Amino acid sequence: VLSFSSGMEKVVACSYKRPNALCRLICFPWAGGGTAHLAQWGRLFSSSIEVYSVRLPGRETRFKEPFAKDMTTVVNEIASVLLEDLQEKPFAFFGHSFGSYISFAVALHLKEKYGLEPIHLFISAAHAPHSEAFLPIKRMHNVEDEDIIAHLKLLGGTPSELLQNEDIRKHVILTFREDLRVLQTFSFEKADRNIPLSCDITCFDGSEDIEHDLEAWNDITSGDISIYKLPGGHFYLLEPSNEIFLMKHITRCIENSDL
Protein backbone atom coordinates (compact mmCIF):
# COMPACT_ATOMS: atom_id res chain seq x y z
CA VAL A 1 0.00 0.00 0.00
CA LEU A 2 1.35 3.40 -0.94
CA SER A 3 1.84 5.45 2.20
CA PHE A 4 0.83 9.10 2.19
CA SER A 5 3.77 11.46 2.65
CA SER A 6 3.54 13.74 5.69
CA GLY A 7 2.79 16.75 3.47
CA MET A 8 0.04 14.73 1.85
CA GLU A 9 -1.42 13.62 5.21
CA LYS A 10 -1.55 17.26 6.22
CA VAL A 11 -3.24 18.67 3.12
CA VAL A 12 -5.40 15.76 1.98
CA ALA A 13 -7.90 13.46 3.66
CA CYS A 14 -8.37 10.18 1.85
CA SER A 15 -10.72 8.04 3.96
CA TYR A 16 -11.12 5.31 1.33
CA LYS A 17 -7.76 4.54 -0.26
CA ARG A 18 -7.99 2.94 -3.71
CA PRO A 19 -4.48 2.53 -5.10
CA ASN A 20 -5.85 0.80 -8.23
CA ALA A 21 -8.39 3.51 -9.07
CA LEU A 22 -8.30 4.79 -12.67
CA CYS A 23 -8.88 8.37 -11.63
CA ARG A 24 -8.73 10.62 -8.57
CA LEU A 25 -11.46 13.07 -7.68
CA ILE A 26 -9.98 15.96 -5.72
CA CYS A 27 -12.65 17.77 -3.66
CA PHE A 28 -12.37 21.35 -2.42
CA PRO A 29 -14.51 22.48 0.56
CA TRP A 30 -16.82 25.46 1.04
CA ALA A 31 -15.81 28.53 3.07
CA GLY A 32 -15.27 27.64 6.71
CA GLY A 33 -15.43 23.96 5.75
CA GLY A 34 -13.19 21.01 6.47
CA THR A 35 -12.65 17.63 4.85
CA ALA A 36 -15.17 15.51 6.75
CA HIS A 37 -18.16 15.55 4.43
CA LEU A 38 -16.46 15.34 1.05
CA ALA A 39 -13.94 12.71 2.23
CA GLN A 40 -16.94 10.45 2.97
CA TRP A 41 -17.85 10.56 -0.71
CA GLY A 42 -15.11 7.97 -1.16
CA ARG A 43 -17.41 5.20 0.03
CA LEU A 44 -20.13 6.17 -2.47
CA PHE A 45 -17.99 5.84 -5.59
CA SER A 46 -17.00 2.65 -7.37
CA SER A 47 -13.48 1.26 -7.08
CA SER A 48 -12.45 3.13 -10.25
CA ILE A 49 -12.48 6.52 -8.44
CA GLU A 50 -10.40 7.52 -5.41
CA VAL A 51 -11.54 10.61 -3.51
CA TYR A 52 -9.18 13.17 -1.97
CA SER A 53 -10.61 15.95 0.19
CA VAL A 54 -8.39 19.04 0.52
CA ARG A 55 -7.68 20.49 3.99
CA LEU A 56 -6.65 24.13 4.30
CA PRO A 57 -4.57 25.42 7.23
CA GLY A 58 -6.30 26.62 10.41
CA ARG A 59 -8.77 23.71 10.78
CA GLU A 60 -9.01 20.05 11.80
CA THR A 61 -5.54 18.54 12.17
CA ARG A 62 -4.06 21.86 10.95
CA PHE A 63 -5.83 23.76 13.74
CA LYS A 64 -2.60 25.22 15.14
CA GLU A 65 -1.29 26.47 11.79
CA PRO A 66 -1.90 30.08 10.76
CA PHE A 67 -4.60 30.59 8.13
CA ALA A 68 -3.44 31.13 4.55
CA LYS A 69 -3.01 34.80 3.70
CA ASP A 70 -3.94 34.68 0.02
CA MET A 71 -5.03 32.48 -2.87
CA THR A 72 -1.49 32.17 -4.27
CA THR A 73 -0.29 30.54 -1.03
CA VAL A 74 -3.24 28.14 -1.03
CA VAL A 75 -2.72 27.18 -4.68
CA ASN A 76 1.04 26.72 -4.35
CA GLU A 77 0.72 24.45 -1.35
CA ILE A 78 -2.00 22.26 -2.88
CA ALA A 79 -0.23 22.02 -6.24
CA SER A 80 3.17 21.15 -4.76
CA VAL A 81 1.78 18.48 -2.42
CA LEU A 82 -0.43 16.88 -5.08
CA LEU A 83 1.87 17.25 -8.07
CA GLU A 84 3.32 13.72 -8.10
CA ASP A 85 -0.11 12.16 -7.70
CA LEU A 86 -1.57 14.33 -10.44
CA GLN A 87 1.23 13.38 -12.82
CA GLU A 88 0.74 9.71 -12.03
CA LYS A 89 -2.88 9.22 -13.16
CA PRO A 90 -5.88 11.19 -14.50
CA PHE A 91 -7.69 13.46 -12.03
CA ALA A 92 -10.88 15.51 -11.84
CA PHE A 93 -11.76 18.41 -9.53
CA PHE A 94 -14.96 19.05 -7.57
CA GLY A 95 -15.41 22.31 -5.68
CA HIS A 96 -18.39 23.71 -3.82
CA SER A 97 -18.83 27.49 -3.56
CA PHE A 98 -15.49 28.86 -2.18
CA GLY A 99 -14.00 25.46 -3.14
CA SER A 100 -14.98 26.01 -6.78
CA TYR A 101 -12.77 29.09 -6.94
CA ILE A 102 -9.86 27.26 -5.33
CA SER A 103 -10.26 24.31 -7.69
CA PHE A 104 -10.26 26.65 -10.68
CA ALA A 105 -7.21 28.57 -9.40
CA VAL A 106 -5.34 25.28 -8.88
CA ALA A 107 -6.37 24.04 -12.35
CA LEU A 108 -5.14 27.29 -13.89
CA HIS A 109 -1.80 27.04 -12.07
CA LEU A 110 -1.27 23.39 -13.07
CA LYS A 111 -2.03 24.17 -16.70
CA GLU A 112 0.24 27.23 -16.88
CA LYS A 113 3.14 25.77 -14.93
CA TYR A 114 3.09 22.04 -15.71
CA GLY A 115 0.79 21.62 -18.70
CA LEU A 116 -1.44 19.42 -16.51
CA GLU A 117 -5.19 19.62 -16.60
CA PRO A 118 -8.10 17.87 -14.88
CA ILE A 119 -10.08 15.59 -17.19
CA HIS A 120 -13.21 17.29 -15.85
CA LEU A 121 -14.00 20.26 -13.65
CA PHE A 122 -17.12 19.97 -11.48
CA ILE A 123 -18.22 23.36 -10.20
CA SER A 124 -20.92 23.80 -7.57
CA ALA A 125 -22.75 26.97 -6.48
CA ALA A 126 -20.22 29.41 -7.90
CA HIS A 127 -20.10 32.32 -10.34
CA ALA A 128 -17.57 32.18 -13.13
CA PRO A 129 -14.52 34.00 -11.67
CA HIS A 130 -14.42 36.70 -14.39
CA SER A 131 -18.14 37.37 -14.10
CA GLU A 132 -19.58 40.69 -12.91
CA ALA A 133 -21.61 38.64 -10.41
CA PHE A 134 -18.40 37.61 -8.63
CA LEU A 135 -17.40 41.21 -7.83
CA PRO A 136 -19.65 41.81 -4.77
CA ILE A 137 -17.87 38.90 -3.03
CA LYS A 138 -14.60 40.77 -3.44
CA ARG A 139 -16.11 43.83 -1.78
CA MET A 140 -17.25 42.07 1.39
CA HIS A 141 -15.14 43.72 4.09
CA ASN A 142 -15.61 44.22 7.84
CA VAL A 143 -18.47 41.76 8.00
CA GLU A 144 -19.98 41.64 11.51
CA ASP A 145 -19.89 38.33 13.41
CA GLU A 146 -23.70 38.38 13.65
CA ASP A 147 -23.92 38.74 9.88
CA ILE A 148 -21.65 35.76 9.36
CA ILE A 149 -23.73 33.64 11.77
CA ALA A 150 -26.94 34.75 10.05
CA HIS A 151 -25.32 33.93 6.69
CA LEU A 152 -24.22 30.48 7.87
CA LYS A 153 -27.70 29.74 9.23
CA LEU A 154 -29.22 30.90 5.97
CA LEU A 155 -26.85 28.71 3.94
CA GLY A 156 -27.52 25.77 6.21
CA GLY A 157 -24.14 24.04 6.07
CA THR A 158 -23.31 24.41 9.77
CA PRO A 159 -25.41 22.46 12.31
CA SER A 160 -27.07 25.09 14.52
CA GLU A 161 -26.30 23.16 17.72
CA LEU A 162 -22.59 23.66 16.95
CA LEU A 163 -23.14 27.41 16.79
CA GLN A 164 -24.56 27.30 20.34
CA ASN A 165 -21.07 26.49 21.64
CA GLU A 166 -19.11 29.73 22.16
CA ASP A 167 -15.66 28.34 21.24
CA ILE A 168 -16.91 26.48 18.19
CA ARG A 169 -18.90 29.50 17.07
CA LYS A 170 -15.84 31.75 17.36
CA HIS A 171 -13.74 29.31 15.37
CA VAL A 172 -16.39 28.86 12.68
CA ILE A 173 -16.69 32.65 12.29
CA LEU A 174 -12.92 33.08 12.20
CA THR A 175 -12.43 30.30 9.62
CA PHE A 176 -15.21 31.66 7.42
CA ARG A 177 -13.75 35.18 7.64
CA GLU A 178 -10.26 33.97 6.76
CA ASP A 179 -11.54 31.95 3.80
CA LEU A 180 -13.41 35.00 2.58
CA ARG A 181 -10.18 36.98 2.79
CA VAL A 182 -8.39 34.38 0.66
CA LEU A 183 -11.19 34.64 -1.90
CA GLN A 184 -10.79 38.42 -2.05
CA THR A 185 -7.14 38.02 -3.07
CA PHE A 186 -8.13 35.96 -6.11
CA SER A 187 -8.55 37.70 -9.40
CA PHE A 188 -8.83 36.19 -12.83
CA GLU A 189 -8.77 38.50 -15.82
CA LYS A 190 -10.19 36.79 -18.87
CA ALA A 191 -8.06 37.87 -21.84
CA ASP A 192 -9.70 38.02 -25.28
CA ARG A 193 -9.07 34.92 -27.36
CA ASN A 194 -7.30 33.27 -24.44
CA ILE A 195 -9.23 30.22 -23.27
CA PRO A 196 -7.24 28.81 -20.35
CA LEU A 197 -8.65 25.27 -20.12
CA SER A 198 -9.76 22.56 -22.53
CA CYS A 199 -11.52 20.14 -20.17
CA ASP A 200 -15.29 19.73 -19.94
CA ILE A 201 -16.97 21.63 -17.11
CA THR A 202 -20.16 20.64 -15.31
CA CYS A 203 -21.88 23.25 -13.12
CA PHE A 204 -24.29 22.20 -10.36
CA ASP A 205 -26.52 24.57 -8.42
CA GLY A 206 -29.33 24.45 -5.88
CA SER A 207 -32.64 25.55 -7.41
CA GLU A 208 -33.43 27.74 -4.39
CA ASP A 209 -29.95 29.24 -4.04
CA ILE A 210 -29.18 32.74 -5.34
CA GLU A 211 -28.66 32.83 -9.12
CA HIS A 212 -25.06 32.08 -10.03
CA ASP A 213 -23.53 33.15 -13.32
CA LEU A 214 -22.90 29.64 -14.59
CA GLU A 215 -23.11 30.39 -18.32
CA ALA A 216 -19.89 32.41 -18.15
CA TRP A 217 -17.89 29.28 -17.23
CA ASN A 218 -18.25 28.62 -20.96
CA ASP A 219 -15.58 31.28 -21.64
CA ILE A 220 -13.06 29.43 -19.47
CA THR A 221 -12.76 26.25 -21.52
CA SER A 222 -12.79 25.04 -25.10
CA GLY A 223 -14.46 21.86 -23.79
CA ASP A 224 -18.18 21.29 -23.31
CA ILE A 225 -20.14 22.82 -20.48
CA SER A 226 -23.31 21.46 -18.89
CA ILE A 227 -25.49 22.93 -16.16
CA TYR A 228 -27.71 21.09 -13.66
CA LYS A 229 -30.07 22.61 -11.09
CA LEU A 230 -30.86 20.30 -8.20
CA PRO A 231 -33.64 20.82 -5.64
CA GLY A 232 -32.55 22.77 -2.57
CA GLY A 233 -30.62 25.79 -1.37
CA HIS A 234 -26.91 26.56 -1.19
CA PHE A 235 -26.14 23.24 0.49
CA TYR A 236 -28.32 21.15 -1.84
CA LEU A 237 -25.37 18.71 -2.08
CA LEU A 238 -25.90 17.55 1.53
CA GLU A 239 -29.29 16.05 0.57
CA PRO A 240 -28.84 12.26 0.12
CA SER A 241 -30.93 12.16 -3.08
CA ASN A 242 -28.85 14.96 -4.63
CA GLU A 243 -25.68 13.25 -3.46
CA ILE A 244 -26.68 10.11 -5.35
CA PHE A 245 -27.33 12.18 -8.48
CA LEU A 246 -23.93 13.86 -8.12
CA MET A 247 -22.11 10.52 -7.66
CA LYS A 248 -23.78 8.94 -10.68
CA HIS A 249 -23.23 11.97 -12.87
CA ILE A 250 -19.62 12.52 -11.83
CA THR A 251 -18.87 8.82 -12.36
CA ARG A 252 -20.43 8.90 -15.82
CA CYS A 253 -18.45 11.98 -16.84
CA ILE A 254 -15.18 10.50 -15.60
CA GLU A 255 -15.75 7.08 -17.16
CA ASN A 256 -16.74 8.65 -20.48
CA SER A 257 -13.61 10.75 -20.72
CA ASP A 258 -11.36 8.12 -22.31
CA LEU A 259 -9.13 7.35 -19.38
pLDDT digits (tens, 9 = 90+) for 126-165: 999 999 888 877 777 677 888 777 777 766 666 677 778 8
Q: Return the minimum-mean-pLDDT range out of 14-18, 97-101, 167-171, 248-252.
A: 167-171
Query: Does the residue 81 lie in any domain?
Result: yes
- Residue 76 exposure: Cα atoms within 13 Å on the Cβ side: 6
Q: Label residue 167 exposed, middle or buried (CB < 10 Å: 0-12, 13-18, 19+).
A: exposed
Asked if 209 and 234 count as a contact pair (C-beta separation under 8 A), the reply is yes
pLDDT at 158: 67
Q: Output the pLDDT for position 82.
A: 95
Active site residue 37: no
Domain that holds residue 117: 6-256
Catalytic residue among 37, 120, 212, 234: 234
Q: What's the CA gap between 6 and 196, in Å, rounded? A: 32
The domain that contains 61 carries what CATH number?
A: 3.40.50.1820
Phi-psi region of 219 (alpha: psi -120 to 50; beta: other; left: phi over 0): alpha
Domain count, the chain: 1
- Give dist(CA 60, CA 187) in Å, integer: 28
For residue 114, being part of any structural domain is answered with yes
How many helices (H) and strands (E) the chain has is answered by: 9, 7
Active site residue 234: yes
What's the length of the chain? 259
Is residue 1 in a domain? no
Catalytic annotation, pick one of 97, 100, 124, 131? 97
Q: Mind listing the pLDDT tens digit for each residue in 9-67?
A: 899 999 999 999 999 999 999 988 889 889 999 999 999 999 999 999 999 999 999 99
pLDDT value of residue 155 = 65
The pLDDT, as a whole number, for residue 192 is 75
| Residue 38 burial class via C-beta count within 10 angstroms: exposed 0-12, middle 13-18, buried 19 and up | buried
